[in-house]
């Protein structure tokens, strides 16, 4: 390869040189903002690594380890069809889960971001997800990215402020999940908050974009905090904050989604693992209803009502859930 290069030099006059310095100072790429944070730690919120006039960065970590021993490991169980199925009991020790949250604002405190590294080692799953939000005021915040289907209380912020078994034992066969979409939330009137969501499906976990249908999930929730106007950090279970005045919460949530098994009917096990029968069988699994029958699509409609009180270290929370399925496509 042949080429011809010509180099020229230019001598800048003092006035011109000053102008060049001014241009460099005005260039955002050359602007340096002083960091006013030094790794301060706030329990429940993590470490503030960076904070200046333009942006911030916070690091928070959640992790759990467990030993599961299901005794005995060779028993059977009976499903809703009366079939005796083998129970493969587990006896294993795991570093179960780790989550790393990176949060902060960019340009203005009204524009915030969240990026999360999520892992579950027992299922060999690792994901990176997040969202971007803009707050217009206390009455309206809008965002895009990973969102919960606001069909039940535990999907609206409390995690991880409850015991690890609370959700699994009470809701796992019934609740919706997390998906990608858009949302709006805020305080409509004093002590009354709302959440609206429009997502790709009921749960995006394990579902590729190419397998999605053109049906969106829709969810809405309204919560009323009549006495104190709050229910603790993230609305979590337990009164660790020791309310001196009775804190109360009343909420109602609804979610609708036209769900699909998200893979070929010839594959007995569906990619949609969020929707389950009350005995734990996958709803879209072949033979889940009767032998030889496979459900391809179904409407998921869930309504839930939650009531809760907190007072001087004590708490009581009750959920009432209905989740009927209708309009099946076989």
Q: Give the pLDDT of residue 47.
A: 92
pLDDT of residue 312 exceeding 90: yes
| Rounded distance between C-alpha atoms, residue 253 and residue 157, angstroms | 14
Element housing 144 (H / E): strand 140-148
Question: Between these two residues, 303 and 14, which has the higher pLDDT value?
Answer: 303
If we measure between CA atoms, which residue out of 285, 281, 282 comes closest to residue 268?
A: 285
If we measure between CA atoms, which residue out of 137, 174, 140, 138 comes closest to residue 155?
A: 174
**Tokens found for residue 11:** 């001598």
Q: pLDDT (tens digit, 9 = 90+) per residue, 281-309?
A: 888 999 888 888 888 999 999 999 999 99
| Positive or negative: CA dihedral 105, 109, 112, 115 | positive
Given a contact cutoff of 8 angstroms between Cβ atoms, the answer to whether 147 and 160 are in contact is no
pLDDT of residue 202 exceeding 80: yes
With cut-offs at 50, 70 and 90, classify the pLDDT of residue 227: very high
Give the burial class of 163: count Cβ atoms within 10 A of its Cβ; 0-12 exposed, 13-18 middle, 19 or more buried.
Answer: exposed
Element housing 15 (H / E): helix 14-26
């Amino acid at each position: 390869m042949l080429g011809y290069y010509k180099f020229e030099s230019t001598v800048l006059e003092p006035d011109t040189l000053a102008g060049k310095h001014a241009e460099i100072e005005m260039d955002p790429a050359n602007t340096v903002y002083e960091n006013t944070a030094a790794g301060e730690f706030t329990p429940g919120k993590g470490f503030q690594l960076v904070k200046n006039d333009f942006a911030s960065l916070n690091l928070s970590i959640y992790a759990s380890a467990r030993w599961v021993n299901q005794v005995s490991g060779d028993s059977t169980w009976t499903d809703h069809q009366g079939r005796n199925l083998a129970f493969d009991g587990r006896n294993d020790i795991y570093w179960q889960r780790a989550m790393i949250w990176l949060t902060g604002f960019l340009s203005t405190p009204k524009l915030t971001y969240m990026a999360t590294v999520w892992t579950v080692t027992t299922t060999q799953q690792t994901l990176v997800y997040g969202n971007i939000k803009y707050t217009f005021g206390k009455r309206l915040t809008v965002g895009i990215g990973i969102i919960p289907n606001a069909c039940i209380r535990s999907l609206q912020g409390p995690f991880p402020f409850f015991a690890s078994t609370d959700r699994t034992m009470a809701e796992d066969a019934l609740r919706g999940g997390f998906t990608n979409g858009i949302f709006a939330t805020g305080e409509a009137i004093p002590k009354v908050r709302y959440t609206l969501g429009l997502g790709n499906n009921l749960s995006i976990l394990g579902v590729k974009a190419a397998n999605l249908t053109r049906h969106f999930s829709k969810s809405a929730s309204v919560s009323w905090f009549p006495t104190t106007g709050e229910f603790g950090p993230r609305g979590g279970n337990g009164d660790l904050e020791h309310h001196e005045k009775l804190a109360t919460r009343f909420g109602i949530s609804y979610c609708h989604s036209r769900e699909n098994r998200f893979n070929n009917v010839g594959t007995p096990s569906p990619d949609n693992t969020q929707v389950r029968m009350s005995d734990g069988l996958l709803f879209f699994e072949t033979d889940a209803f009767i032998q030889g029958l496979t459900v391809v699509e179904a409407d998921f409609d869930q309504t839930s009502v939650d009531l809760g009180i907190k007072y001087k270290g004590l708490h009581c929370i009750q959920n009432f859930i209905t989740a009927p399925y209708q309009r099946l496509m076989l």
